[in-house]
DNA sequence: CGCTTGATAAAGCAGATGCTTGAGTAAGCG
DNA sequence: CGCTTACTCAAGCATCTGCTTTATCAAGCG
């Protein structure tokens, strides 16, 4: 069964991943934690813009933010990544099962024809 | 190295998956091909709206559309799904490598302390 | 205390997105 | 031939997005 909560979670997750800058940030956080300033540094855009990207990523559950002195270090939350992964794998599994059944069916037909 | 083309592909892919109706359509096509009318049937929205969702999915490479009499049967293209999957797995791999290194490091420290 | 640093909040704006309705078009059916 | 079916195209519209700029705030530094 599918719940509205799960749907909204997946909406937020895939929306978060649909932007190049945000995928970039996720990739960089997979290497190690970083502050907002660190994350903003490579881009032409303002730190405020990056801060808003971080907000989107946080709402999706992909990252979390802590506090250390004046900085807000960001950390990847790999559990959210797993949720996206398992939705995709769900569709893939159904599809390959269907192919398997099709192949089995074709094999049987060919068997009968011999 | 990352190319602009790959980035745009991933943009289109994750944008396509960020909508509940479109994920629904992908899930239904993983079970078997369907026409636009078939796909539109369960929803309150117009067939035109569903047709536009299909356009988004097609541009992302997730599905393709053929022609048979008056109908335009839609088919899942699992290769696109793989592209999304492998991006996510890339980040996951980096992250777990990092955890492995951290654990190795901690083990060495503890070794030395004994 | 004032000044800088790292960050968020809020308002504004151009452009994208998700629908709608109305008008076509191409294929099959009488 | 007209009528229906399955669908696309196009315009319009409300809402969402991705930025910007200005303002604010809390922590540390002299």
Which of A42, A27, A21, A36 is closest to A81 using CA atoms?
A: A27
pTM of the model: 0.91
Phi and psi for A73 in degrees, rounded to 5? -65, 135
Is residue A6 scored above 90 in pLDDT? no
Phi first, then psi: give them for residue A68, nearest 5 degrees: -150, 110
Distance CA A109, CA B44 (A): 41
Q: Residue B103, exposed/middle/buried by CB under 10 A (0-12, 13-18, 19+)?
A: exposed
**How is residue B62 annotated by DSSP?**
S
Average the pLDDT over B67-90 and give the result. 95
Taking phi over 0 as left and psi of -120 to 50 as alpha, with beta for the rest, A63 belongs to beta
Whether B11 and A19 lie within 8 Å, measured CB to CB: yes
pLDDT at A114: 56
List bases, strand C, within 7 Å of protein CB: 5-10, 17-23, 26-28
Query: Which positions of strand D lie within 7 Å of protein CB atoms?
Result: 5-10, 17-23, 26-28
Taking only residues 36 to 75 of chain B, the set having a beta carbon closer than 8 angstroms to any beta carbon of chain A reads none
Q: Are B36 and B72 in contact (CB under 8 A)?
A: yes
Q: Strand D-proximal residues, CB under 7 Å?
A: A 15, 18-19, 21, 44-46, 48-49, 52-53, 56, 69-70; B 35-38, 40, 47-48, 51, 54-55, 65, 70-73
| Closest chain A residue to the Cα of B95, Cα to Cα | A30
Q: Which percentage of chain B shows pLDDT scores above 90? A: 74
Per-residue pLDDT tens digits for B48-61: 999 999 999 999 99
- Is some CB atom of chain A closer than 8 A to the CB atom of B102? no
Q: CA-to-CA distance for B1 and B16, rounded, in angstroms?
A: 24
């Amino acid at each position: 069964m599918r719940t509205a909560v799960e749907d909204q979670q997946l909406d937020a997750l895939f929306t978060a991943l649909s932007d190049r800058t945000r995928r970039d940030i996720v990739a960089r956080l997979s290497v190690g934690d970083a502050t907002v300033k660190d994350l903003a540094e490579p881009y032409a855009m303002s730190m405020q813009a990056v801060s808003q990207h971080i907000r989107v990523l946080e709402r999706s559950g992909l990252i979390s933010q802590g506090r250390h002195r004046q900085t807000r270090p960001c950390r990847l939350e790999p559990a959210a990544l797993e949720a996206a992964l398992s939705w995709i794998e769900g569709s893939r599994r159904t599809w390959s099962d269907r192919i398997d059944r099709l192949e089995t069916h074709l094999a049987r037909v060919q068997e009968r024809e011999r």
